[in-house]
Structure 1
Amino acid sequence: MARKNQKRFEIVHPDCSGIDVGGSEHWVAVDPEKCDDPVRQFSTFTDDLIALADWLGSMDVKVVAMEATGVYWIPLFEVLDARGFEVYLVNSRATRQTSGRKSDVLDCQWIRQLMTYGLLSGAFRPADQICSLRSLVRQRTNKVRDQAKTINRMQKALTQMNIQLANVISDITGVTGLKILRAIVQGERDPEKLAAFRDGRIKADRATIARSLHGNWRAEHLHALDQELACHDFLEKQIGECDQAIAQALARLPVLEEKVEAPGKSLRSPHRTSDEQSVLHRALNKIMGVDLTAIPTIGIDTALVLASELGPDLSRFPSAQHFCSWLGLAPPTRISGGKPLPGKAPKIINRAAQALKQAATSARQDKSFIGASHRARLTRMDTSCAIKATAHQLARLIYAMLTKGQPYVEKGLEAFEEKSRDRQLRALERKARKLGMQLVKAA
């Protein structure tokens, strides 16, 4: 016998559609009451994407839900978003069918059904101009990563020739290192002449550098060094082009703050001069409305990644807890029956969270409130957990700055020591009460 008070799902989005995204074709489902053929197939060609949008418009569809499948969803998302549809990009884990039956037709119908009852939530995607900046910053990151690989291969070639240059200078791609490498590629083999390229800022003397440049000079290793040095120079040029494109993208973004103050700390960044860093700092402050580099351990590169991944508008996140959960920095909640579940939580790849974790690693030597907090965490937990907790602290600060528009105010080491002293005092008072005693302050 059916229960009288049985609750039913309420229809939240009556005019919605579900799309199963693929590499060569898209399957689209609409309300079967609107037409005789509610499921249709469209290819991924641009004219078919436009036809898909026209058909959804003729069906009076207002909301579209699609899975985030690789990068295949991006052209379709942009077409539908430009046509005025409310597009939800949903996680594939949320649309997994429990029956085990799976096909493209069933998937798009299942996505539409879940969206109809409001059971799907869309992924965070910043404004279109921020997405353009994000693509450029990610491209630059890829080029920097590729350049690091070429440096490792140059070092490998030098080691195979027993050239111990890396043991006497800190960076083989610095001023001295590049001059020596270019001279080697051009045919110079005399260690004394190569050591003459020593810059005055190098700590090692000229004789030590000359000793490190005695090697076997095998032809195959010289060939590898020549090619990797050419690849390094080519990538250096491309990184500069990426910086120019990023500067142009920043200039096109709306300005939230006209008045920009000079940074309160020295900004250090590879591949950028001090003037380029100052220009980038002013541009980021204008579009974000606040100075993210005022937070200790956050440099200009980290601020650029955060600006490109998040943008200035965090209204999609109701609270700092929601924001940290999206970053994957929130404490785990895999609990059932009052006990933590075994196994690891799903891995979340978030570039903004990775940038914050990288910034947290440098907090160990920082003489600030955040640095003291990080050192205190390292005394009671392992390094990875402490880094994640410090990144969580940075994320809460960033959320407060972007949502409230308030600048960062450094509390200092004295504030942390006072807070720690109060915490210890409260702990002692609790222990005293449990033992039936009372703490008395010494005169």
Structure 2
Amino acid sequence: MKAQVNFPQVIERGCGMDVHRDTVVVTVMGVGITVETRSFTTYTNSLRSLRDWLISLNITHMAIESTGIYWKPVYNILEQDFEVILVNARHVKNVPGHKTDKKDSRWLAKLLISGLLKASFIPPKDIRDMRDLTRYRKKLVQNAAADRNRFEKILQDANFKLSNVISDIFGKSGTLLINALIDGVDDFNLLLSLCHGRIKKKREILYESLQGVLTDNHKYMLNAIRTNLYNTLSKIESVDNQLLQLSKPYDIELELLKTMPGLNQISATMLLSEIGVDMSRFPTVNHLASWAGICPGNNESAGKSRSSRTNQGNQYIKPILVECAWAASHVKNSYLKKKYESLIGRRGKKRALIAVGHKMLNAAYYIIRDKVPYQDLGYEYLDSRKKQKQIQSYIDKLKDLGIYIEIPNIQ
């Protein structure tokens, strides 16, 4: 008989769930109950039957593998009656060549009652609602940007070079010019009168940029794209209003976050919807940075460090932090601007932005946890700290040479 490894039991009774789109395979095990596996559908009534069966067995904990979005309806129904642990599928892989739904659920149950599972972060319901809206808003913003690019592409196809003269073709002057061109206006003086003062000074290049030809198909495409763009912008405004209502209970945290350079109402709300307001869910600030995938990773073997690239982390929070870091790097006389400048030369723009985003996430952790505003260290902080280290280094070198000096105040 082959030797078998037994783990100490930490949880008295638990179950493991292998969740799919249409079915849920559940295995229960623990003290005083027989190991049993059953299958249920993911329809609401079937999930309620699953809940009643687990309650009758006095199950207290359950482990669910995070399979796409299919775990969410199961979690929503069961979260009120059990302590549900959502686990990363990469952390609970079974032995290769022995993968079935029943074996997967049994393996999850075994790991659960042995206390070997690491729970994923699931924020409260109101934060999850905010998260759904902020992620939807991100998609809408991407769609709006795509429509703007398509609009510019049509203008270029018709050989109108408005973007060479007007920085924003969807601004007041750009909109008036495009409306006139679609209506068939070709009188340059009339088109020039639609522009504001700064553009009028570029009379010659504006004249050249308007010497294109709009076909009927171009006009149709421009109207269709612009209509869709305005609809998308209207949706974004509606989402912003809904976010404003949902975020009212967290006005204090949002106002404190906005004291940090690079954060406004929208970015602060997006950041809060991803990390929540309960910082006790993360033991330390380093755990939060690791979960977000914004800190250096570890890949060491035989005493050699192979790579320190960031891990995968949360795919939504990293772009938010990078955008905020870019904004913060342009705030005059700020510590974050100086931090960016100190790194860009030897690490490049992308790594410098990740490092600044890491600093901002660390600051957000303490701002939310301690309910305090952001305290900027100042633009000169890094230089002053470097100066102190250099002075101390020279003093230590003189001591090694047998020369002892005293400096009353090192500043």
TM-score, with structure 2 as normaliser: 0.90
Matches of 1:84 and 1:382 in 2, distance apart?
50
Matches of 1:243 and 1:39 in 2, distance apart?
46
Look up the SS of the partner of 2:118 in the other structure: coil
How far did residue 37 of structure 1 move? 7.3
Corresponding position of 1:209: 206
Aligned pair count reads 405
How far did residue 178 of structure 1 move? 2.2
How far did residue 436 of structure 1 move? 6.2
Matches of 1:343 and 1:384 in 2, distance apart?
15
Matches of 1:373 and 1:195 in 2, distance apart?
46
Corresponding position of 1:80: 78
Query: Would the aligned equivalents of 1:180 and 1:194 in 2 still touch at CA under 8 Å?
Result: yes
Q: Does 1:340 align with 2:300?
A: no
Matches within 5 A, 1:370-389: 370-389=336-355
Q: Which moved more, 1:300-309 or 1:194-203?
A: 194-203
Look up the SS of the partner of 1:341 in the other structure: strand
Matches of 1:148 and 1:203 in 2, distance apart?
27
How far did residue 114 of structure 1 move? 0.6
How far did residue 231 of structure 1 move? 1.0
Corresponding position of 2:65: 67
Which residue of the other structure, out of 139, 150, 155, is the alignment partner of 1:153? 150
Which residue of the other structure, out of 366, 378, 391, is the alignment partner of 1:400? 366
Matches of 2:309 and 2:272 in 1, distance apart?
30
Gaps of 5+ in 1: 1-6, 256-284
CA 1:347–1:323 in structure 2 vs 1: closer, same or farther (change >3 Å)?
closer
Q: Which moved more, 1:348-357 or 1:84-93?
A: 348-357
How far did residue 382 of structure 1 move? 2.6
Q: Does 1:110 align with 2:111?
A: no
Query: Would the aligned equivalents of 1:290 and 1:401 in 2 still touch at CA under 8 Å?
Result: no
Matches within 5 A, 1:171-250: 171-200=168-197, 202=199, 204-205=201-202, 208-250=205-247
Matches of 1:439 and 1:365 in 2, distance apart?
42
Matches within 5 A, 1:179-328: 179-200=176-197, 202=199, 204-205=201-202, 208-251=205-248, 254=249, 285-286=251-252, 288=253, 290-328=255-293
> What one-letter code is carried by the residue in structure 1 that aligns with 2:116?
L
Matches of 1:159 and 1:219 in 2, distance apart?
15
How far did residue 188 of structure 1 move? 3.5
TM-score, with structure 1 as normaliser: 0.84
Corresponding position of 1:270: none
Q: Which moved more, 1:34-43 or 1:197-206?
A: 197-206
Query: Would the aligned equivalents of 1:289 and 1:405 in 2 still touch at CA under 8 Å?
Result: no
Q: Which moved more, 1:29-38 or 1:139-148?
A: 29-38
Q: Which moved more, 1:321-330 or 1:425-434?
A: 425-434
How far did residue 394 of structure 1 move? 1.1
Look up the SS of the partner of 1:297 in the other structure: coil
Corresponding position of 1:119: 116
Which residue of the other structure, out of 294, 312, 315, is the alignment partner of 1:329? 294
Corresponding position of 2:21: 23
Matches of 1:246 and 1:363 in 2, distance apart?
23
Matches of 1:421 and 1:25 in 2, distance apart?
64
CA 1:112–1:405 in structure 2 vs 1: closer, same or farther (change >3 Å)?
same
Query: Would the aligned equivalents of 1:16 and 1:116 in 2 still touch at CA under 8 Å?
Result: yes
Query: Would the aligned equivalents of 1:195 and 1:207 in 2 still touch at CA under 8 Å?
Result: no
CA 1:290–1:219 in structure 2 vs 1: closer, same or farther (change >3 Å)?
closer
CA 1:195–1:86 in structure 2 vs 1: closer, same or farther (change >3 Å)?
farther
* Aligned alpha-carbon RMSD (Å): 2.7
Corresponding position of 2:317: 352
Deviation per CA, 1:37-83, whole angstroms, max 9, x where unpaired? Answer: 711111111111221212211121111110111111111111111x3
Q: Does 1:48 align with 2:46?
A: yes
> What one-letter code is carried by the residue in structure 1 that aligns with 2:156?
T
> What one-letter code is carried by the residue in structure 1 that aligns with 2:235?
Q
Q: Which moved more, 1:377-386 or 1:324-333?
A: 377-386
Look up the SS of the partner of 1:26 in the other structure: strand
Matches of 2:142 and 2:28 in 1, distance apart?
44
Deviation per CA, 1:243-270, whole angstroms, max 9, x where unpaired? Answer: 222122224xx35xxxxxxxxxxxxxxx
Matches of 2:136 and 2:27 in 1, distance apart?
35
Query: Would the aligned equivalents of 1:42 and 1:52 in 2 still touch at CA under 8 Å?
Result: yes
Query: Would the aligned equivalents of 1:64 and 1:85 in 2 still touch at CA under 8 Å?
Result: yes
CA 1:188–1:37 in structure 2 vs 1: closer, same or farther (change >3 Å)?
farther
CA 1:35–1:318 in structure 2 vs 1: closer, same or farther (change >3 Å)?
closer
Corresponding position of 2:7: 9
Q: Which moved more, 1:145-154 or 1:417-426?
A: 417-426
Which residue of the other structure, out of 129, 132, 135, is the alignment partner of 2:129? 132
Q: Which moved more, 1:122-131 or 1:422-431?
A: 422-431
Matches of 1:379 and 1:157 in 2, distance apart?
39
Matches of 1:431 and 1:100 in 2, distance apart?
62
Matches of 1:438 and 1:43 in 2, distance apart?
80
Query: Would the aligned equivalents of 1:131 and 1:308 in 2 still touch at CA under 8 Å?
Result: yes
How far did residue 320 of structure 1 move? 0.9
Look up the SS of the partner of 1:374 in the other structure: helix
> What one-letter code is carried by the residue in structure 1 that aligns with 2:152?
Q
CA 1:388–1:132 in structure 2 vs 1: closer, same or farther (change >3 Å)?
same
Look up the SS of the partner of 1:123 in the other structure: coil
Query: Would the aligned equivalents of 2:260 and 2:374 in 1 still touch at CA under 8 Å?
Result: yes
Q: Which moved more, 1:11-20 or 1:297-306?
A: 297-306
Look up the SS of the partner of 1:84 in the other structure: coil
Query: Would the aligned equivalents of 2:293 and 2:310 in 1 still touch at CA under 8 Å?
Result: no
CA 1:154–1:434 in structure 2 vs 1: closer, same or farther (change >3 Å)?
farther
Look up the SS of the partner of 2:26 in the other structure: strand
Query: Would the aligned equivalents of 1:30 and 1:39 in 2 still touch at CA under 8 Å?
Result: yes
How far did residue 161 of structure 1 move? 0.7
